[in-house]
Amino acid sequence: MASSILKTKFSPEEYLVWEAAQEQRHEYICGEVFAMAGAEDRHVTVSGNMYIALRQHLRGTPCRAYIADVRVQVQASDAYFYPDVFVTCSAPDALDRLAKREPILIVEVLSPSTAAFDAGAKFAHYRQLESLQEYLLIDIGRRSADLFRKSPQGQWLLLPRTEGEVLQLASVDLEMPVSAVFDELEPESAPNATN
């Protein structure tokens, strides 16, 4: 994660007012705001694949899938994040237009600049959400997914999956081939050369 972009500390209320006027998204941790970098097309494709699969599966239920521009508040650590994809089934979340507080599943698509933060400090924040049952980290380069599932005893178990295997999301009762996560994903290529 990049360093804080502003020297001034914000209260959560000030952050929400300030963020509403910004063109770029910013995450918030303990009074500091951090600009979100733009994503490459492969990241967006994978996020979209997960969102579409979840949205179609959850149709007609009280659960809702959200993508990229909806905030999750982690009250216990005074933070707001923008997960790539998440699901909440909470009635209070359905009524709040600014932030959701009770996700059951959070999905982050890893990029080189955020992978360590997503797997480490961000996951530590997310683990403070009592509602959270599963955390899915998707690695585009390896075409794999690391699913962390909370056990009834509160321990987080790692369930790694690769192409050719099935991803079982117990939090939303969805099974899907790992290959579907990477559907229509262009192969990695070198950056365009300039003339």
Provide the β-strand partners of residue 145. Answer: 138, 161
Any idea what the CATH number is for the domain that residue 144 is in? 3.90.1570.10
Please tell me the predicted confidence (pLDDT) of residue 36: 87
What does the angle CA 181 – CA 111 – CA 31 come to, to the nearest 5 degrees? 115
Q: Which domain holds residue 112?
A: 40-69+82-181
Is residue 53 a part of any domain in this protein?
yes
Cα separation values, 13 from 4, 21, 34, 63, Å: 18, 13, 16, 27
- List residues bridging with 150 in a β-sheet: 156
Of the pLDDT bands very low, low, confident and very high (cuts 50, 70, 90), residue 194 is very low
Q: What does the pLDDT look like over 68-110, one tens digit per residue?
A: 889 999 999 999 999 999 999 999 999 998 899 999 999 999 9
Q: Is residue 34 part of a domain?
A: no
For 13-28, how does the pLDDT look when each residue is reduced to its tens digit (9 = 90+)? 999 999 999 988 999 9
